[in-house]
Amino acid sequence: MRKLRLGLSSREAEIVETVYLDSAVLDEVLFAASRTALEIVGALAGYAIRDAVYISSWKHLEGHVSEDEFRIETCALVGYAEALTTQRMLGIIHSHPSGQAVISLWDSHFAARSPYLWLIVARNQRLFRSYVHRGNGVVIELRSCTF
Ligand SMILES: [Zn+2]
């Protein structure tokens, strides 16, 4: 049985500079976000290659969402990761229904304790922001692009 890794390794988290998100994935996330007043959350999968991460698929995680927060069941992330064949589960994306795509206090608290890339979209804006935990509780913003 292959070893399941959720998120980035600490080495990958140290060197990543840019997140490339498949524009079809961004469209799907924004479409889902546009249909609710609550946050939406999903798991992201793709590849980490040197200083870049390519996100090419996602899974909308239904669950405990509200207007300004969400919870994720770890078993849902594991289930998604186990179903992947060539990609890895690398991050989490969620929406800010009324705000901007800027990391909140709660977000940075969680991001600083997790190995996941942390992507945020705001409703009705075609952009996203990406963050990563570099270690020692330091969360930084990465360059965010689509492909
Ligand atoms: Zn947030």
Could you tell me the residue ranges of all domains in the chain?
Answer: 10-136+141-146
What's the pLDDT at 1? 57
pLDDT at 13 over 70: yes
What's the pLDDT at 2? 64
CA 95 to each of CA 2, 31, 143: distance values in angstroms, whole numbers, following the listed order: 32, 11, 18
Give SS3 for 26: helix
- Please tell me the pTM assigned to this model: 0.93
Give percent helix, percent strand, percent coil of the chain, each to the nearest 5: 25, 40, 35
Interval between CA 93 and ligand 1 midpoint (Å): 9
Interval between CA 118 and ligand 1 midpoint (Å): 9
Interval between CA 2 and ligand 1 midpoint (Å): 32
The tens digit of pLDDT for each residue in 115-136 reads 999 999 998 888 999 999 998 9
Task: Give the pair of three-digit tokens for residue 92.
Answer: 């989490």
What's the pLDDT at 41? 93
The residue that leads in pLDDT, 111 or 98, is 111
Burial 58-94 (b: 16+ CB within 10 A, else e): bbebeeebeeeebebeeeebeebbeeeeeebbbbbbb
The tens digit of pLDDT for each residue in 32-79 reads 999 998 899 999 999 999 999 999 999 999 877 777 777 888 888 899
Interval between CA 106 and ligand 1 midpoint (Å): 7
Q: Cα 86 to chain center, whole Å?
A: 18
Exposed (0-12), middle (13-18) or buried (19+): which is 6, by Cβ within 10 Å? middle
**CB of 139 closer than 8 Å to CB of 111:** yes
The top-level CATH class assigned to 10-136+141-146 is alpha beta
From CA 64, how far away is CA 117, in angstroms rounded?
Answer: 20
Size (the chain), residues: 147
